[in-house]
Structure 1
Amino acid sequence: MAKLQLLLLTLFCVFLLLPSSAFGDCTCDTEDEGRDKTQALKYKLAAIASILVAGAIGVCIPILGKTIPALRPEKDIFFIIKAFAAGVILSTGFIHVLPDAFESLTSPCLSASPWQDFPFTGFVAMVSAIGTLMVDAFATSYYRKSHSNQAAQNGVGDVEMEGEHEGHLHVHTHATHGSNSFVDNSASSDLIRHRVISQVLELGIVVHSVIIGISLGASESPKTIRPLVAALTFHQFFEGMGLGGCISQAKFQNRAVVVMATFFSLTTPVGIAIGIGISSGYDENSPNALILEGIFNAASAGILIYMALVDLLAADFMNPRVQSNARLQIGVNVSLLLGAGLMSLLAKWA
């Protein structure tokens, strides 16, 4: 699991370095109308503060299930909160990130060949979703086998110990151990699954959060930034709830929980800070910038759509507890529609 966390951190560092390659020759003129660097900087600083706080609160709400019984994963309200957050993440992929990717990769600022000859946005999103499936499957398989081997070794040790010290109880204890082992392995498999889901989901969220932050930080138009501050604050809060729910179910150690929550909370503010730093030389209409933003937005959309549909919604909606409770089933459906609807509405401003 530590290797997967290191991979996420490495990819994040790469994303931070990529904007430097967006400096280049501009083929499309950028409008100077409405630019006010001083006023724009005030809005950017307000955005850093509000988005940081909103993201931290959002990701911590589900995690507080340890201290607030109503928010624990075994409670019905947890399924409703997760359905709402999954709707937000699904809407983020389809309504916010994917259209931005289409806009970037079909921009008239790019050469007609090859960018106008092939639907690169859909292709990258598809490859990203398939890649997420593969990573999801291989990571789960690897950790499950690793745990099974460790459990088998521990089991052999237990049997030998029983044979040495508790010979007359060997048969009885062995049967009980087998029963408990089956339950433990099932619970352990679910735990491994939740851990893989939470880390892959965080990767998808981090990619587009950094891009959004850089775009906002590089803008010098108060008219553009003003509505984005409120919209992105809500956006980060709701996404945080979805990620926090996955982290809560993964039952990481406290240190890992703090690292993941902090990592998520800081991505957009750090992106804004980077955008502020490069705003003097960053041209959002340059071919390099458009291609980078378009490809990474499309990849992020593929990850988010896959995670929302397969790992969040399908897993919970097909859960026997939800299937056997009509009231809860209605609740999660309404919550899903509400989350997707509200996040879609934010597209009017962001």
Structure 2
Amino acid sequence: MKERRYMAAWKSIKGMGARRIRSLVSRFGSAQNAWQADGEAVAEAAGLGVQKAGHINAARNQFDWEGQEKLLRSRKVQLVTFQEEAYPELLKQTYNAPAVLFYQGILPENDKTAAIVGARKATPYGLNAAHTLSEQLARQGVFIISGGARGIDTRAHTGALRGGGRTIAVVANGLDRTYPPENRRLFEEICDAGGAIVSEFSFGVEPLACNFPARNRIIAGMARCVIVVEAAARSGALITSDFALEEGRDVFAVPGSIFSTMSQGTNGLLRNGAIILTRAADVLDEYGWQNVKKEEGKPACVLPDRERQVYEALQESQALPVEQLVMHTGLSAADISCILVNLILHNLAEELLPGLYVRCPAQNVSP
């Protein structure tokens, strides 16, 4: 217990990254012994210059232990160090694994994990694909890992939850912050469903742009494979795929339109040898995960004629407004709005963006 606290304290000091902390533990035998060692010995073991060594010594002397304990309790945050069995095994095997993880919820117990990542400003096609793939993989017991951000990440998490599975959001800030703020409820649902919110950043750290590559390496490190659903040519999701390749992990990519800038990154991955992904079974078959959890057959949903008209007018790859559905079906806007509510309640449609609707794929609707 104390060792975790000292490891977290080291991580809270600016300039103390994973490699330096592991060097201190190796030199002194524990994070606690390193904390209690004299400044010169610490500076030598961590390879610190005079100025930085002085800063770190001052930080040790001024560290607020009571404040750390208060935040750990109030935010229900747990700690796990790289020395413990509970530390995610796949992440432990990576080149620069975090010395300590801060997390809320429950970490995965095995390596049946897949990361799903992509663009924040994703298209309806990408959002729907991420949600569908995540849901189908989660139904087979795959632990879905993503970054908790807007766009593809959020859809990966919500898809896993809809599939009755577990998911992890790896964030780029301290766990006393919530980013993006609109995902606060989603993060609570992730923990309630047996998943986790994970960070290597200590309390007080804001979600700065420079933190996201470090967060991406954790996403890649915790997963058996990385699935890039939709990404532009210079997307952060491609950084995650690069980390995966460096660690010898598989990279899957969902093909996209040759006319869409949001598919240039994924199509480029395929051109360079990524595994093409067009259905969840491509991942399940690759690792022998298929049919681990049998789904009970559900009776086909029989729709009245007018509801069927609207359902068939909806698309999976493009979000449509009510006005366009009026043109396709000849029904009034008021009737279509009522029908859409019913389709959404039966998970046959979804309001993907305000006023824009898509058909939920792979639903059992009777002809």
TM bin, normalised by shorter chain, reads: under 0.3
The structure in which a higher percent of residues are strand is 2
Taking structure 2 as the reference length, the TM-score comes to 0.23
